[in-house]
DNA sequence: TTGTAAGCGTTATCAG
DNA sequence: CTGATAACGCTTACAA
């Protein structure tokens, strides 16, 4: 270990500082913990100088061991590749910063095995709490976390059997917002495109809201108005074969519509990754001018949406992350309040894609 | 969670396990550390059972305190919003996984203050090493890290005054690749668009490579061939005013070219964020059909490149991350080899944008 | 106002 | 093979 160069630069410890300052560890500890009013200004100055000289940094690990809290909070995310996740993370980091916490970010990269592993690792590092944007399945590992007494906050999705605070988009309102927009703009064929939604609460909620919004719109539609058509399309981005089949169906549907002389079909993507997949497919199949045939709208507002003029429902991602940490912090501090759920509103960003059917 | 006061579920410690198994802590520790051959199978079984029953997880912090190594490696990134970063991260995580390390990801979000803070925090948590994708400036905090004896590996950019291993793209080769492509396709006006490059080594290298490639091409050009024009355009994405001015100049240049009846101008973006900014600007100024006027090509291959057919030079991001951890691991294990530098090759992905001038 | 000593959960040393 | 016991770097009674 560090055999090589002369003077293996071992980090200074509190004892080193005490010696250097000609005092005991206790006083140094007091200084570190801001109990400066208990220290004579002379001693304080000596300690300060010693710390400077030795470039001393208190060891958080040792501190945590003794105090029982190491200020580490785990942030387990399903997929860092999703811009949504990164944005939420910014809120999380800001809040952690403000509260003196250190986020331990773990990316499951859409793999269950990773999720499990990281959850394990986190408990091993004795994080004081966990913010979880789970893959969806795998309640087990999470439940054990809870049983271990580690507070958790869920982001975007619930996990069956795990009772924890949760923060995310107001899915129902967001979908209603989108549907109202599409209908106002005169769309008569609306496809709600979503990843397999049985396991993931937010997707389930969005899909349900879509069907309800559709029903409501039909009910309140004038007799004379053209009928409103709508259906749910499931896109399993993780399964290439299933995806190919789904797209074949979609293509057939679009072709039929066109043959029937219908207006542009609207595709309402349930989130950013779906929207991207759709856009790529349509681009490949219909050419650069694909938007003449299909109007894409999405929940989430990835950077490329502006680039090709896609209407989006932007999530309050920063706020979601920030709020999650606040929830967690309360629990860590021992709050015993009933579980709460924060549903933050989305915001419609209208762009060219949906300007008219 | 953490419902009710009763039985605050303190995590089991090694002593608990020892008691439960009717043995001493030493044996449990031995079991945990895989010295199973030294244990009678009876004892081993009892320990195993006790661990199961108590759902025991060794405390990494305590372990680290004693052993002097906690398996934590810091990963400081300049900007998680940049897809490049996220991709590198995947390589980092995979390698950490393989080597039994725990990545502590910190996002400076392009703020110097954050970078400094996180660097501090990391040393406070006694990370065994750091992988740094630095903002560029701020050598100071990093240098102190090095002096503290913490090994570091640089990703994508060097830092003045910090001697550390480094891994990144082979910038020169990548730019040459791109230039050759553009020239082959008949472009005669090439703008190399890059963020302020004085402070950031990779940008500097790319810009230099651009000028050299340009000179070389001119030299080896046939007498009769039309002249090759090229210049560097600096885009400071962080400074709105400067950005606006730069774009005004760019627009004027493009208009002049067009008035002179020139072919399409090629914009060679030095990285993904620049490419995005350019695309957004051109889209806003020239309309959806902007690509008829400008051919965009970029180092980095963000998800939207395929969507609008932008030729890209893809970086071996995963390999970069993986390699960085390998370097770091060697240093952590005490390797004393001379500093090395891994320059990994980029790959050209030709798309419609540069199909012909 | 200051210092001593006893842990926090592990591992390492050294006897049985 | 097994198990006390002393650290690791820090905080916190408890004294002085």
Are residues B336 and B293 part of one domain? no
Backbone dihedral region of A78: left (phi > 0), alpha (psi from -120 to 50 degrees) or beta? alpha
CA B24 – C1' C11 distance (Å)?
A: 13
Interface of B with A in 280-299 (CB under 8 A): 280, 283, 288
Q: Which residues of B touch A60 (CB under 8 A)?
A: 124-126
d(CA A168, C1' D5) / Å: 52
A211 in the same domain as A145: no
Looking at residue A292, what is its pLDDT? 95
Sites in chain A below the pLDDT cut of 70:
1-9, 137-138
Same domain, yes or no, for A185 and A289? yes
**Are residue A280 and residue A264 in the same domain, yes or no?**
yes
Say if residue A239 is in the same domain as residue A201: yes
With respect to residue B334, please indicate whether it lies within any of the assigned structural domains. yes
Last residue of a domain, one of B24, B58, B92: B58
Does an H or E element contain A344, and which? strand A341-344
Pairing of strands B347-349, B311-314: antiparallel
Look at residue A3 and tell me if it is in a domain.
Answer: no
Please list the rounded mean pLDDT of every run of 10 residues in chain B (357 residues).
Answer: 47 94 94 89 93 94 94 96 96 96 95 92 95 82 81 93 93 98 96 96 97 96 91 97 98 96 95 98 96 97 96 98 97 92 98 92
What are the b/e assignments for B98-136, b being 16+ CB within 10 Å?
eeebbbbbbbbbeeeebbbebbebbbbbbbbbbbbbbbb
- Let me know whether A115 and A180 are in one domain: no
Q: Which domain holds residue A283?
A: 171-314+346-354
Q: What is the pLDDT of residue A9?
A: 67
| Residue B5 confidence (pLDDT) | 38
Residue among A144, A79, A137, A143 nearest A108 (CA): A79
Opening angle at CA B339, ends B333 and B341, nearest 5: 110
In this complex, do A152 and B1 lie within 8 Å of one another by their Cβ atoms? yes
Does residue B253 lie in a domain region? Answer: yes
A190 close to A343: Cβ distance less than 8 angstroms: no
Considering the domain architecture, whether residues B290 and B222 belong to the same structural domain is answered as yes
Nearest CA in chain A to B149: A9
End-to-end CA distance of chain B: 63
Question: In sequence order, what DSSP letters do the residues of A242-266 get, joined into one string?
Answer: HHHHHHHHHHHHHHHHHHTT--PEE
CB contact under 8 Å between B86 and A90, yes or no, is: no
Q: Inspect the interface and report whether the beta carbons of A11 and B124 lie closer than 8 Å.
A: no
Beta strands in chain B (DSSP E): 72-77, 102-107, 129-133, 152-155, 165-169, 189-194, 229-234, 265-269, 294-299, 311-314, 341-344, 347-349
CATH classification at residue A302: 3.40.50.2300
Looking at the structure, do residues B208 and B242 belong to the same domain, yes or no? yes
Residue B327 lies in a domain: yes
* pLDDT score at A246: 98
pTM, two decimals, is 0.94
Please tell me whether residues B160 and B94 are part of one structural domain: yes
pLDDT digits (tens, 9 = 90+) for B259-295: 999 889 999 999 999 999 999 999 999 999 999 999 9
Each residue's pLDDT tens digit, A103-152: 999 999 999 999 999 999 999 999 999 999 988 766 777 878 877 889 99
- The answer on A268 and A253 residing in a single domain is yes
Q: Which residues lie closer than 8 Å to A176 by C-beta, 6 or more apart?
A: A209, A213
For residues B157 and B282, membership in a common domain is answered with no
Q: Identify which of B272, B216, B207, B280 has the alpha carbon closest to the alpha carbon of residue B243.
A: B280
**Chain D: nucleotides under 7 Å from a protein CB?**
1-13
Q: What are phi and psi of A104, to 5 degrees?
A: -110, 100
Q: How many domains does chain A have?
A: 3
* B7 inside domain: no
- Residue A4 pLDDT: 33
């Amino acid at each position: 270990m560090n055999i090589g160069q002369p003077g293996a630069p071992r980090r200074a410890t509190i004892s080193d500082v005490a010696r250097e300052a000609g005092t005991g560890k206790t006083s140094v500890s007091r200084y570190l913990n801001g109990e400066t009013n208990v220290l004579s200004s002379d001693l304080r100055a000596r300690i300060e100088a010693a710390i400077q000289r030795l470039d001393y940094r208190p060891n958080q690990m040792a501190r945590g061991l003794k105090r029982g809290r190491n200020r580490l909070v785990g942030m387990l995310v399903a997929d860092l590749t999703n811009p949504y996740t990164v944005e939420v993370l910014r809120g999380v980091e800001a809040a952690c910063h403000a509260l003196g916490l250190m986020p331990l970010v773990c990316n499951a990269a859409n793999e269950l095995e990773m999720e499990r592993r990281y959850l394990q690792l986190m408990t091993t590092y004795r994080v004081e709490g966990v913010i979880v944007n789970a893959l969806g399945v795998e309640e087990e590992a999470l439940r054990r976390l809870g049983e271990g007494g580690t507070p958790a906050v869920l982001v975007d999705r619930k996990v069956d059997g795990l009772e924890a605070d949760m923060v995310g988009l107001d899915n129902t309102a967001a979908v209603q917002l989108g549907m109202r927009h599409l209908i106002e703009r005169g769309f008569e064929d609306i496809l709600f495109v979503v990843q397999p939604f049985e396991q993931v609460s937010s997707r389930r909620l969005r899909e349900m809201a879509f069907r309800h919004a559709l029903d409501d719109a039909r009910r309140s539609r004038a007799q004379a108005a053209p009928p409103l058509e709508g259906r749910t399309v499931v896109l399993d981005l993780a399964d290439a074969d299933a995806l190919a089949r789904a797209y074949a169906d979609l293509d057939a549907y679009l072709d039929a519509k066109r043959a029937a002389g219908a207006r542009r079909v609207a595709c309402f993507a349930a989130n950013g990754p779906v929207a991207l997949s759709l856009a790529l497919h349509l681009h490949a199949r219909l050419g650069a001018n694909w938007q003449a045939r299909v109007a894409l709208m999405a929940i989430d507002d990835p950077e490329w949406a502006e680039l090709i003029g896609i209407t989006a429902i932007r999530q309050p991602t920063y706020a979601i992350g920030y709020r999650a940490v606040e929830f967690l912090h309360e629990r860590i501090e021992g709050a015993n309040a009933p579980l709460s759920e924060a549903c933050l509103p989305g915001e419609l960003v209208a762009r060219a894609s949906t300007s008219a059917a």
